[in-house]
Amino acid sequence: MSAVKTIIHPETGATLYRARRDEIVSYMGLSKSVEIEGWFPEDAGDGILTGTDSEPLDAALVELKSMYAAQAKALAKRVRASAGLTQRDASLLLTGSPNSFSKYERGVAQPSWPTYVLLKLLARQPQLIETIKAG
């Protein structure tokens, strides 16, 4: 008969057991539930990940970043085209940088969270572009 292996949490002093748990990974408004294995207390307290335990979390983050990049690329192009703006004009009007929309639409860069939220708002209410133009 083998003994149950435990470790002690270095900060809380709680006894940790090897177990599986679902964790939520979030990035720029996107989320994904991931099952991970690690050292956890019997309650819902903090655990410790060792070795390769964090690999599923890392993979989920890579996936979410890719999804965000694809969504941002399509959204930037759609908003700019529906407003009838060139990439340069959209960039200057909405970000202050002359090349940002070119980078967004090519997938070379992604908009910041506030810019992404602005693009989502403009996609839903395209008439707001006139308010922005009017200053």
Domains and CATH numbers, the chain: 6-56 (no CATH), 67-134 (1.10.260.40)
Tell me the pLDDT tens digit for each residue of 107-132: 999 999 999 999 999 999 999 999 99
Q: What is the pTM of this model?
A: 0.80
pLDDT band at 92 (very low <50, low <70, confident <90, very high): very high
Inform me whether the pLDDT recorded for 5 exceeds 60: yes
User: In this structure, how many other beta carbons lie within 10 angstroms of the beta carbon of residue 12?
Assistant: 12
Tell me the pLDDT tens digit for each residue of 21-73: 999 999 999 999 999 999 999 988 899 999 999 999 999 999 999 999 999 99
Inform me whether the pLDDT recorded for 3 exceeds 70: no
In sequence order, which residues have a C-beta less than 8 Å from that of residue 48 and are 6 or more positions away? Answer: 7, 9, 10, 16, 38, 39
Mean pLDDT taken over the chain: 93
In sequence order, which residues have a C-beta less than 8 Å from that of residue 135 and are 6 or more positions away? Answer: none
Burial of 109 (0-12, 13-18, 19+ CB in 10 A): middle
Inform me whether the pLDDT recorded for 1 exceeds 70: no
Q: What is the sign of the dihedral through the CA atoms of 76, 130, 81 and 92?
A: negative
